[in-house]
Amino acid sequence: MKAEDAAAIAAMEAEIFSCPWSEKSFLEAVKDKNACYLKAELAGKEGNTLAGYCGFWQSFEDADIMNVAVKEGLRGRGIAKSMLEKLMEYGKERGICSYTLEVRESNLPAIHLYEKLGFVQEGIRKNFYDRPKENALIFWKR
């Protein structure tokens, strides 16, 4: 992901999440040396189309995975899995040994994906999400 992608990614974020990050937040993340963000695109006749994005923020040998998103009409094609696998490859190169993330407890497709990738639920953050209020499940991959 590059700075020039921030506007399109923020627009997709606003379509998907009830409390989206702003374009400014994505610009800051792209510039942060502790962060790594990827985007997925699909090639088409009229150019590439943004399909999804994800990222992490690194603290020593741990990373917090954030903003995993795939455009609604493109879900179920393995895009999120591919992005996360690539993201963790980059993390390994940076010395990351453990990953954590939060997910809405009602987001069963994401939960199944994380479990398939080797993440294990290790906790709950009560009422973590807003609009609607919902618990977050905390997952780790060590």
Q: What are the catalytic residues?
A: 102, 114
**Residue 6, φ and ψ in degrees, nearest 5:** -60, -40
Instruction: Give exposure, 67-78, as e/b (b: 16+ Cβ within 10 Å).
Output: bbbbbeeeeeee
H helices present in 4-142, as ranges:
6-16, 23-31, 79-93, 108-116
